[in-house]
Chain A
Amino acid sequence: MCGIVGFLAKDAALQDTLGEFLVPMLTCMGERGPDSAGLAVFSAPLPASKRRFSLWTRDWHFDWASLGRRLAADTGAQADLGPLENHAILISTVPVGLLHAWLDQQFPGVHLLSAGRSIDLYKDEGHPAEIARRYEFSRLAGTHGIGHTRMATESAVSPAHAHPFTAGEDFCLVHNGSLSNPCSIRRRLEKQGIAFETDNDTEAACRFLEWRMTGGETLEQALAAAFKELDGFYTLLMATTDRMVLVRDRFACKPAVVAETAAYVAVGSEYRALAHLPDIRHARLFEPAPEQIYSWTAPASA
């Protein structure tokens, strides 16, 4: 059992308080997944020359300023850092591949959680309520965000095994369920030169979808392929720069409830995660059908 949550602000006035909507949802779903938690938040894209990188290390007293100075010195790239203890958002002109290689060499204890023009990502081990406090989720703003509360069943409890998983840029995924064939998917992708960071089944699904999209498919086309290729149980909630996308497998035995109003779309594993959202009494509530793709687009940021 795990919990998933998502919130997309249709009304730009809700963007500033995105985190305040998501924290009670995530905390409530801590009952479905107390091991670890994570949240990805999307905001207005940076100019094409820049990227946002979410960085994480175990060291709570890490010297982020020094990392920024050395990155600038070694690569000549701009490096603006927004640190919060063991996590930092780096905004830089450094290419993602170069940053990855540089971190591996210079700071092997610093992990790149996400990259893109609009995504920020936080995930760690611990109870979701505690992780929300640690990383000040309630202060986060953005157009949409998706989160996860994990009860590990098939691979280790570690910060790297927490969701959301990312692949490529500005794409992330949370998963409630378990896959039966992640190893065969992984072997196929590794032959294409795609590197994995964990042995987690959800990472295989995430990299599979991103691999299809890199090959030119839309997310919808990639999901149609995933319906055929992914063997197992899943409710998947995904986010891109401007979209939140939800699917359930053909058995639909992993839950999801959607609440939609004129102002927002909210997704939760259970209704109780949504019960305290504004105007929920007038929301259109529904349970997503098996193998249907539900997609919502965020309006451009204010």
Chain B
Amino acid sequence: MDRPSQRLIRLDLEQQTLREVNDFLHQRLPHEFAGGEMPRVEILNPNGRHNVAVGLDTPVEVDILGHAGYFIAGMNKAARVTVHGNVGWSVAENIMSGTVRVKGCASECAGASGRGGLLVIEGDASSRCGISLKGSDIVVAGSVGHMAAFMAQAGTLVVCGDAGAGLGDSLYEAVLYVRGQIAGLGADARIEPLSAPDHQRLTRLLAAAGLPHAPQEFQRVGSARNLYHWHADRGGAYG
């Protein structure tokens, strides 16, 4: 590892254990650089390991150089984490704030149950992207697989490519924008007209993600809210 006085710190997962790397990011880094300028941290040789850079709560910039495994940057708060490769399941799960960017593709459950912050996937995300979303913004430059934004409660999912089957099934108040084809909407999800606030939201998120698309190229998907309430008419269905 480089001396802490340097602006760039390299941590190598072939040389150090995952616990040591995460412990450095959690404990030593905020302590040693308290009140000063944070260094940038590079993590080498992730080689598909899980749980890299989880639980960060310091405004530090972290670059993971290579493909990583499950739960990368989970529960992220304030940090800016970039993965220069693909990630496995549940990247940025329960993200609170900050930014997580994946330069490659993400496997399933990207950004699951995130409460704040921004997740950008530059490639594709597979199934269940943004499942149970609770306030984060997710921008996928490519396409998403089936059951994206299942039971998403708040926040935004922007898909610049296509969306798989069952998009927005059992959606609450999260809003989805899709630029390409939608293979099928899930229960209670519906296409809605784009309004001025949608244009503003899309413009802001596309700029934050660094994508060139125009807001009017997207369709908005929201909840029809038919599953919100008990229908007395259907009482007979339960005998």
Contact = CB atoms under 8 A, between A and B. Distances in A.
Contacts of A253: 108, 127
B69 A270 contact: yes
A129 to B, nearest CB: 18
Nearest to A288: B126
B145 A285 contact: no
Nearest to B70: A270
A252 B145 CA distance: 10
B47 A275 contact: yes
B98 interface: no
B158 to A, nearest CB: 21
B49 interface: yes
Contact of A285 (B47, B49, B86): B86
Interface string A274-297: 111000000001010110000000
A82 B105 CA distance: 46
Contacts of B105: 285, 287
A285 B126 contact: no
Contacts of B70: 270
A272 B86 CA distance: 11
Given A252-B108, A252-B146, A275-B48, A270 B88 contact: yes
A270 B108 CA distance: 12
A274 B66 CA distance: 13
Interface in B78-121: 86, 88-89, 105, 107-108
Contacts of A276: 47
Contact of A272 (B69, B107, B127, B145): B69
A271 interface: yes
Nearest to A289: B145
Contact of B67 (A255, A275, A287, A289): A275
Contacts, number: 44
Nearest to B45: A275
A273 B88 CA distance: 12
A273 B70 CA distance: 13
A276 B67 CA distance: 12
Contacts of A272: 47-50, 69
Interface in B1-60: 47-50
Contacts of A290: 127, 145-146
- The majority secondary structure among interface residues of chain A is loop
Contact of A271 (B88, B126, B127, B146): B88
Contacts of B69: 270-272
A287 B88 CA distance: 10
B86 A270 contact: no
Contacts of A289: 145
Most interface-central of A285, A287, A289 (chain B CB within 10 A): A287
Contacts of B127: 251-253, 290
Interface string A250-264: 011101010000000
A287 B5 CA distance: 41
Nearest to B48: A272
Interface string B129-153: 0000000000000000110000000
Contacts of B47: 272, 275-276
A287 B47 CA distance: 17
Contacts of A275: 47-48, 67
A253 B150 CA distance: 14
Contacts of B107: 255, 257, 287
Contacts of B67: 271, 275, 285
B68 to A, nearest CB: 8
A271 B47 CA distance: 8
A276 B48 CA distance: 10
Contacts of B48: 270-275
A257 B146 CA distance: 17
A263 B105 CA distance: 23
Nearest to B124: A287
Most interface-central of A274, A275, A276 (chain B CB within 10 A): A275
Contacts of A273: 48
Interface string A88-111: 000000000000000000000000
A263 to B, nearest CB: 19
Most interface-central of B49, B107, B108 (chain A CB within 10 A): B107
Nearest to B50: A272
Given A257-B107, A275-B47, A290-B146, 9 more contacts: A253-B127, A255-B88, A255-B89, A255-B108, A270-B88, A274-B48, A275-B67, A287-B105, A290-B127
10 contacts: A251-B127, A253-B108, A253-B127, A271-B48, A275-B48, A275-B67, A285-B67, A285-B86, A287-B107, A289-B145
Interface of B: 47-50, 67, 69-70, 86, 88-89, 105, 107-108, 126-127, 145-146
Task: Sort A-B residue pairs by CB-CB distance and give the 9 closest, nearest first.
Answer: A272-B48, A271-B48, A275-B47, A275-B48, A271-B67, A287-B126, A252-B127, A272-B69, A287-B107
